[in-house]
Structure formats: C-alpha cells, structure tokens
Amino acid sequence: MTTIRPAEPADVARLRVALAGLAEAMGDAFAATEADLARALHGPAPTCRAQVAETGPGPLAGAIFYSPIFSTIRGSAGIFVSDLWASGEARGQGLGPRLLATALRDGGACWGASFLKLQVYESNVHARRFYDRLGFEQALGHAEMVLERDACAALVAAQPG
C-alpha cells in the first residue's frame, strides 16, 4: 500500500534523488542541492512544501513539490506545482491524482488555495493526456517569462534602494 505524507527533514536526500531523476528524464538541468531543498522546505522561512509517497523503506514511489501563489484575477490563493513525479513501478496506479489532491488539500489548509497551476512540456504527450483527463485547461495567450539569477542581481543593483 502506498502512503502519502508531508516531506520531513529526513526525506530530503530521497526527495532530491527523485527530483533529480525527473529532471534527467525530462532533459532538464538540476541544480538543487540537499541544503537548498532543506532550506526551502524546512528552513526558518519555508518557501514551498512537498508530499512524498512511499511503499516502505527505500526509494520513494512518488513526490510532489509545490508553492503558494496568489491570483488577483481569481481573487484567491492557489498552488504552483513545480514537480510531480511517480516512479516507473508506481505509474498507472492513480498515484499522480492522489498526490495532486493531497497537495490541494494541504494548500487549502495552509493558504486557502482554490486552484492549481503547473507547466507541462508541449512535447510530453503522455503528461498532456494525463492532465487533460483530470480536467486541466491550457492557458492560452500567455508567454512564460523568466528573469534568471544574474539578471535579477543586475536589476536590483541598477535600482535605488
């Protein structure tokens, strides 16, 4: 039986392995260290939350990593899912929807979250079908904009005060 629970400090190493594996499978870089994850999840000012799925000791069966967001358009808080992962053995057993629902319940209790937002690669047809089946809708007319670390530092340095 697979159990889902909030990630604890002792889970950080296994969580990092899972998230790094997801990044590798997607062809993405992965820079987060165990210290980065521990600080983000359990530091003095946590910036995100995670749930882990396990069937026993050893590698995780799945994980979800998420942060609060607020939408003035919706007039409510939501959660942004940055990572959703299920091991190869756990895929097709309903773990993804369970992890999403658990994150929504937690986000509702913590932040009053009433919606969920995530990104999926257009080329990832399996993920697109999964999210379509759950009722996700593609946001049209939006362009993702990112100001990376060096550009953030330059912006701050160039502005007074």
Q: Mean pLDDT score of the chain, rounded to an integer?
A: 95
What domains, with CATH codes, occur in the chain? Answer: 3-158 (3.40.630.30)
* pLDDT class of 56 with cuts at 50, 70, 90: confident
pLDDT score of 120 more than 90? yes
Report pTM: 0.92
32-41 pLDDT, tens digit per residue, is 999 999 999 9
| pLDDT value of residue 136 | 95
Please answer whether residues 68 and 111 qualify as being in contact, where contact means their C-beta atoms are separated by less than 8 angstroms.
yes
